[in-house]
Amino acid sequence: MKRAALYLRVSTLDQHPETQLYDLRQMAAQRGYQIIEEYTDRISGAKAKRPGLDSMMHDARRGRFDVVLVWASDRIARSVRHFLEVLDELNRLNVEFISFREQIDTGGPLGRAVVVIIGAIAELERNLIIERVRAGMRRAKLEGRHIGRKPLVLDRNAILRDRQRGQSLSQLAKGHLVSRATIHRVLKEHASTILEKSA
């Protein structure tokens, strides 16, 4: 018997997931699935934070179920790209995806073909994004713009002077607007230099 997870999302608080729930429970019963968990989000599909979906994906990674049932594909994702990402991850975890409205079932041969096509589209999109980023970086270099984080400007002498005055690593980090690790590195480099000169 396959273990199933039901995922439901309603866009606003005045909508009720009961219709979706009834259809999905009936589908699970018809296919002989054991419902392990029902995850619900009462939130817009465009919202990034989806506690129900996040919880479901966490449980999928732990292998709690074999199949995910949704009422419609647009219930599970906020965009086509997000839908592809979710479907791709479920496929990698060997979790089947079934959509009640579109009759998508990644467990059958046609469904697996759909996953292959979706995977190819997702890979193409990722490659296009990478190429656009690279093109942007090339253009920025040609225009003489700096790429990445700005180099850290440190007044090493001031740090060493303040350390000699008895300031702690935390005080130095706060006073010079850098991390404790950076302060530690500066002091270590200074100590190494002194050792080299005395050798």
Integer Cα distance of 146 and 137 in angstroms: 9
Alpha helices by DSSP H, 5-108: 18-31, 51-61, 73-76, 80-92
Considering 11, 44, 73, 170, which one is annotated as catalytic?
11
The tokens of 97 are what? 């995806």
**Catalytic residue at 73?**
no
Contact 68, 31 (CB under 8 A): no
Sheet strands (E) in the chain: 3-10, 34-42, 67-70, 96-99, 104-105
Separation CA 173–CA 50 (nearest Å): 37
- Active site amino acids: 11
